[in-house]
Amino acid sequence: MPRYFFNIHDGVILDDPEGSVHDGPESALEEARATARELLAEGIRRKHDRRHWRIEVEDEDGELIGTVPLRDTVHPEPRAHEGGHGRDDDTGSPSNQS
């Protein structure tokens, strides 16, 4: 199985010298997304803004497979009035729908 390397960019490049073995590029990118979520969560706990960080995944030949920006791994919770719930504002008042 091929080996992939996960290089972290946080203003400087932190190269992954060992990498890890995966079935293929999709598996490696999924690991990068999971790692990005962990790094972002750790940054939140430590009150460090890591949203500008990214992980670049390379194969054994040094070819870039993909980039995972940490900011893209978190999706905000939808607000109750979004998505057509029949409310027109945050007051909870029904909207005038005909």
Q: How many CB atoms lie within 10 A of CB 43?
A: 16
What does the pLDDT read at residue 76? 56
Q: To the nearest whole percent, how much of the chain has pLDDT over 90?
A: 72
For position 74, what pLDDT does the model report? 77
Where do runs of H (alpha helix) occur along the chain?
25-45
Q: Structural domain boundaries of the chain?
A: 3-73
What phi-psi label fits residue 62: left (phi over 0), alpha (psi between -120 and 50 degrees) or beta?
Answer: left
Question: Could you read off the pLDDT of 48-85 as tens digits, one per residue?
Answer: 999 999 999 999 999 999 999 999 987 655 555 444 44
Give the span between the Cα atoms of 64 and 77, in whole angstroms: 32
